[in-house]
Structure 1
Amino acid sequence: MSSLRSYGVFFRDATFQLPRSAGSATFQLPCHAAANNKWTNGRWSCPQAAIIPNFHLPMRSLEVKNRTSAEDIKSLRLITAIKTPYLPDGRFDLEAYDTLMQMQILNGAEGVIVGGTTGEGHLMSWDEHIMLIGHTVNCFGGSIKVIGNTGSNSTREAIHATEQGFAVGMHAALHINPYYGKTSLEGLVSHFDAVLSMGPTIIYNVPSRTGQDIPPPVIHTVSQSANMAGVKECVGNDRIQEYTDSEIVVWSGNDDQCHDARWGYGATGVISVTSNLIPGLMHKLMFGGKNTSLNSKLMPLVEWLFREPNPIGLNTALAQLGVVRPVFRLPYVPLPLARRVEFVNIVKEIGRENFVGEKDVRVIDDDEFILVGRY
């Protein structure tokens, strides 16, 4: 125990020697710790945070390089849920990822969601997740706001990932409600309260994926936190109107509704999948005022993207545009040939110059796709 005393204040008090049997070692604890513990039926019961009170403190830093307030996040109008591209063995293709990021920045996107549904965060290990957030901050954090998806259906995992995300410099966190297992409304509030103290946070409501709506009373309760930046809302524009009437910041989570949400229902902007493909046109849709003709022009593309669950359509489209390799992490598989032909026609109708990349759009053959089951 003499060596432990050198580590600081928690072990400098007088010590207390516990009873022991013949031949056993002598165990000593600080008196203030030993006072809270007992031998019960001959067995030692562990201390209850006797030495370090309130030991579950968030990992905060005084460094201000990337420090961002919730107010900074609230002003973002175009946030892209960025795609994660892969190498043939299923690892991240960071060169392709960096190219995608540069195209977002050059075309006016103000923020990116890293490792969200579109970025297939649910197919990543947490090591991969945090690495990609850190890489994005390190390379692009001075030009665009980096919002890390560190949500989980486990509060413990959400806390741990969010601590790590802010430690590597992300500007804000995206948090979903606990899915599959679900919880009560009180549980939803407690879950969000557990992570809101760490930094600026966007709450993501998508009942079609989680199986549970986050109702307005929960949002109104947690919006009292200074770190609550707003809500990514997928229920619809009537719900968005309800929040904007209460001065809660909302981003539309539905690309097919985002124009009307922005210009008719008070949404700040959109967290978009489609902007992976046409960031300049999505920027115009969010910044250029009401434009029903442009919105109508983009609807065939949006409908094509979401006919199958996201990100299947996006992954197929980016491969056809030649900006990512045609590699899919299972369980995602590419769209069938007829749909790939349809995409080529959509690109020609909107104009190839409006899409990311410089290669000609093409119909990729089935045998060119690589499906990776172990990654």
Structure 2
Amino acid sequence: MVALKSYYVGLRDSAFQFPRPSGADNYKRRNTKWRSPRAAVIPNFHLPMRSFEVKNRTSAEEIKVLRLITAIKTPYLPDGRFDLEAYDALVNMQIEQGAEGVIVGGTTGEGQLMSWDEHIMLIGHTVNCFGGSIKVIGNTGSNSTREAIHATEQGFAVGMHAALHINPYYGKTSLEGLVSHFESVLPMGPTIIYNVPSRTGQDIPPHVIHTVAKSPNLAGIKECVGHDRVEQYTKNGVVVWSGNDDQCHDSRWGHGATGVISVTSNLVPGLMRELMFGGKNPSLNAKLLPLIEWLFHEPNPIGINTALAQLGVVRPVFRLPYVLLPLAKRVEFVKLVKEIGRENFVGEKNVQVLDDDDFILIDRY
């Protein structure tokens, strides 16, 4: 008690005491309505809670014009944690070679193997380091509407420019349920809807997209069904990105797609940019098709994980259930790199055929 008393006396006698108001000041304070400090008010900026206000400084129109978006790979350390140094280097290579946006924590980035803490941290990290140079689109979709809402709130709160949303998978739902699901997240900010029936087990039909397109926050759709579906949207004013690297050239130049959300651009961003910006180029497209076919020989992201490890851009670390491609495919990749030209690929190390023992497979992370 003696110590506390002496501390209180010290505070009372301190030079940092607030001045006591006079009688007139007391009267003013009792009869003046409290106002929030003006310095704390940022015009046109709101936390992304569930309302119909604008949620961040990025509009859907700024997302609609992007032609090359890379579904960025997430590298790991030998203990299974994120290798942020390798990740930053890879994102920087994308920026230097012309990618305009990145999908963080998508299928390629293995968001399905992340905790939500990891997921939101990586989105925030990407915004913090690169948000001024490239659009950061966070995959905050889920088969649970509750989780999708919560993750999207957090993603916009840490600064992502747009959200990527898949339709509810496995449990699936009705078409009315799809509309309700998307309408629950669209008010939060610019949104790309992702249609990939091969993974979700359910197609998102055009009726659903045209219904939710009434929202000004719908930037467009990443479509994996094919050219006819792409054209069905583009003729009706819906922005589409091809979700199939092997079809993206023809979708872009023959069917009205704005661009591509690409796995292959992790490896050759400069060539993929040329494919999306340089006009029809069937020869370049044909040159890249064997690489694209190789990448998708096994389900994504197995191919891209193996390729980036062989290029020395990331450590050869896999979170299970993903495993490396077999030796014959690794040898084939070295040949593809030489045919396309090592200078066109990310990284500076020589491409290698790694041994099986060079790879680390982690089951607890």
TM-score, structure 1 length as denominator? 0.83
Per residue, is there more helix in 1 or in 2?
Answer: 2
- What amino acid does structure 1 have at the position aligned with 2:50? P
**Residue 179 of structure 1: how far off its partner (Å):** 0.1
* Alpha-carbon distance in structure 2 between the residues aligned to 1:202 and 1:60: 18
Matches within 5 A, 1:265-284: 265-284=255-274
Contact 1:118 1:311 (8 Å CA) reproduced: yes
* Alpha-carbon distance in structure 2 between the residues aligned to 1:326 and 1:276: 16
5+ unaligned residues in a row in structure 1: which ranges? 1-55
The 4+ residue runs of structure 1 with deviation greater than 3 A are 59-64
- Residue in structure 2 matched with residue 248 of structure 1 by the alignment: 238
**Residue 336 of structure 1: how far off its partner (Å):** 0.4
- Residue in structure 2 matched with residue 151 of structure 1 by the alignment: 141
Aligned pairs, number: 318
**1:148-204 alpha-carbon deviations (Å, 9 max, x no partner):** 000000000000000000000000000000000000000000000000000000000
- Residue in structure 1 matched with residue 222 of structure 2 by the alignment: 232
- Residue in structure 2 matched with residue 207 of structure 1 by the alignment: 197
- What amino acid does structure 1 have at the position aligned with 2:182? F
**1:132-153 alpha-carbon deviations (Å, 9 max, x no partner):** 0000000000000000000000
Cα RMSD after superposing both structures? 1.4
2:180 counterpart of 1:190: yes
- What amino acid does structure 2 have at the position aligned with 1:138? N
- What amino acid does structure 2 have at the position aligned with 1:58? R
SS in 1 for 2:188: coil
* Alpha-carbon distance in structure 2 between the residues aligned to 1:278 and 1:228: 29
2:87 counterpart of 1:104: no
Contact 1:61 1:167 (8 Å CA) reproduced: no
2:264 counterpart of 1:299: no
- 2:50 paired residue among 41, 47, 58: 58
Give the percent of matched residue pairs that are identical in Structure 1 and Structure 2.
83
* Alpha-carbon distance in structure 2 between the residues aligned to 1:87 and 1:81: 20
- Residue in structure 1 matched with residue 350 of structure 2 by the alignment: 360
**Residue 58 of structure 1: how far off its partner (Å):** 2.0
* Alpha-carbon distance in structure 2 between the residues aligned to 1:63 and 1:312: 36
Matches within 5 A, 1:1-375: 58=50, 67-375=57-365
**Residue 59 of structure 1: how far off its partner (Å):** 7.8
* Alpha-carbon distance in structure 2 between the residues aligned to 1:260 and 1:206: 19
* Alpha-carbon distance in structure 2 between the residues aligned to 1:222 and 1:158: 16
**Residue 57 of structure 1: how far off its partner (Å):** 5.3
**1:187-241 alpha-carbon deviations (Å, 9 max, x no partner):** 0000000000000000000000000000000000001100000000000010000
5+ unaligned residues in a row in structure 2: which ranges? 1-47
**Residue 276 of structure 1: how far off its partner (Å):** 0.1
SS in 2 for 1:85: coil
Contact 2:54 2:188 (8 Å CA) reproduced: no
